[in-house]
Amino acid sequence: MNASAETRCGFIAIIGAPNAGKSTLLNRYVGSKIAIVTHKVQTTRTRIIGIAIQGDTQLVFVDTPGIFAPRRKLDRAMVSAAWRGAQDADLVLLLVDTLDGITGDVRTIVSGLKKTGRKAFLALNKIDKVKRDTLLAMARELDSSGVFTETFMISALDGNGTDDLLASLVKALPRGPWLYPEDQITDVPLKMLAAEITREQIYLRLHQELPYQIAVEAERWDERKDGSIRIEQVIFVERKSQKGIVIGKGGQALKKIGEMARAEMEEVFGCKIHLFLFVKVAERWSEKPSHYSEIGLDYVE
Ligand SMILES: Nc1nc2c(ncn2[C@@H]2O[C@H](COP(=O)(O)OP(=O)(O)OP(=O)(O)O)[C@@H](O)[C@H]2O)c(=O)[nH]1
Ligand SMILES: [Mg+2]
């Protein structure tokens, strides 16, 4: 590891409304898929750390759940995890989905930052899809809040503008020793990553009829002598009808989810995976505290 006189290291919280592209940006900077990404809002449920290295600098990105007006208990826990992520960080990066414009959620976040006196970097995302005039108008309006030190226009998807943003983040981080080993890229335990991969496949396959309140937990995890891993996971749904949707006609949906998830896990973990999925109805699981710690959240009354 490098001497601390020259090195820099710090936490950068990526915050924003649901679906802004936070996890996409995190994965790009880390260079590996550690946070799941879907077209649905509220994909990320907990804080996820992704570590990138640029020369002498270790950048510790904190992906957070989207911030929005919470109604349900799970929502409240997610939003509070996101704000905590911002509080603890050296730098805050607000990502705005320019396809959506300046929504009520974005205004809420900006005024939240203003209240705490936090300065932030602003990145207008999805510029691959939006006209330049619209982008400039949005930048002007957001800039007038006085919250942002620098503004960037990026596409987390195709990478446009992301190098400039990264270079500026590096400059703004404090000097200090690296906090993580050089080869560590995340703090998500493998078990949770595997559960997230399955949840992503459920979201991707069952978009229309998806019951939002789905949780996946690893029930058994055996690393075998031959180097393979045998994983049993339980998919929790809240109602019997949802169980039917996840399993599908003749078990087809669940089978496909299992195949896709297994392939993805084999790629991410680099070994053979034996995956077994079970679906259970746990009525109102999202109201129960024990399920929260399983997915890395604090239960908020
Ligand atoms: N066109 C375009 N789509 C993008 C871009 N960045 C992200 N997306 C898409 O936006 C959707 C949401 O991306 P995520 O990375 O899951 O967004 P998120 O902010 O992490 O969402 P939550 O975890 O739900 O808060 C996905 O379908 C992405 O492929 C971009 O730069 N351009
Ligand atoms: Mg996300």
Residue 36 forms part of a structural domain: yes
Q: What is the pLDDT of residue 5?
A: 63
Helix (H) or strand (E) holding 91: strand 91-97
In a 10 Å sphere around its CB, with 0-12 CB exposed, 13-18 middle and 19+ buried, how is residue 171 labelled?
Answer: exposed
Among protein residues, the one whose CA lies closest to atom 26 of ligand 1: 39
| Ligand 1 atom at minimum distance from 158 CA | 31
What's the CA gap between 83 and 80, in Å, rounded? 5
| Ligand 1 atom at minimum distance from 125 CA | 31
Last residue of a domain, one of 138, 172, 206: 172
Q: What is the pLDDT of residue 46?
A: 81
What's the CA gap between 36 and 147, in Å, rounded? 29
Among protein residues, the one whose CA lies closest to atom 21 of ligand 1: 19
Secondary structure (DSSP) of 222-260: EE-TTS-EEEEEEEEESSHHHHHHHH-GGGHHHHHHHHH
Q: What is the pLDDT of residue 166?
A: 98
Same domain for 270 and 201, yes or no, is yes
Write the single-letter amino acid at 112: G
Q: If you measure from the C-alpha of residue 120 to the centroid of ligand 1, how many angstroms do you get, rounded to a whole number?
A: 20
Q: What is the pLDDT of residue 155?
A: 98
Q: What is the pLDDT of residue 259?
A: 97
Helix (H) or strand (E) holding 80: helix 73-88
Q: What is the pLDDT of residue 297?
A: 63
Residue 255 forms part of a structural domain: yes
Same domain for 127 and 196, yes or no, is no
Total residue count of the chain as it appears in this document = 301
Ligand 1 pocket: which residues have CB below 6 Å? 16, 18-24, 37-39, 41-44, 65-66, 125-126, 128-129, 155-157
Secondary structure (DSSP) of 13-58: EEEESTTSSHHHHHHHHHTS--S---SSSS---S-EEEEEEETTEE
- CA–chain centroid gap for 22, Å, is 6
What's the CA gap between 70 and 202, in Å, rounded? 23
Maximal CA-CA distance, the chain = 62
- CA–chain centroid gap for 167, Å, is 22
Q: What is the pLDDT of residue 2?
A: 47
Query: The domain spanning residue 210 has which CATH number?
Result: 3.30.300.20
Same domain for 132 and 207, yes or no, is no
What is the mean pLDDT of each successive set of 10 residues along the chain, which is 301 residues long? 73 94 96 84 84 96 86 81 84 96 94 89 98 97 96 98 98 95 89 92 79 82 95 91 90 95 91 95 72 63 54
Query: The domain spanning residue 35 has which CATH number?
Result: 3.40.50.300
Q: How far are the Cα atoms of 27, 121, 143, 153 from residue 112, in angstroms, in the given order?
A: 26, 14, 15, 22
Question: What are the structure tokens assigned to 230, written together?
Answer: 């045998």
Segments forming the whole domain that contains residue 130: 8-172
What is the pTM (predicted TM-score) of this model? 0.87
Q: If you measure from the C-alpha of residue 272 to the centroid of ligand 2, how many angstroms do you get, rounded to a whole number?
A: 27
| Ligand 1 atom at minimum distance from 44 CA | 23
Q: What is the pLDDT of residue 162?
A: 98
Q: If you measure from the C-alpha of residue 20 to the centroid of ligand 1, how many angstroms do you get, rounded to a whole number?
A: 5
Among protein residues, the one whose CA lies closest to atom 27 of ligand 1: 39
| Ligand 1 atom at minimum distance from 65 CA | 25
Number of domains into which the chain is organized: 2
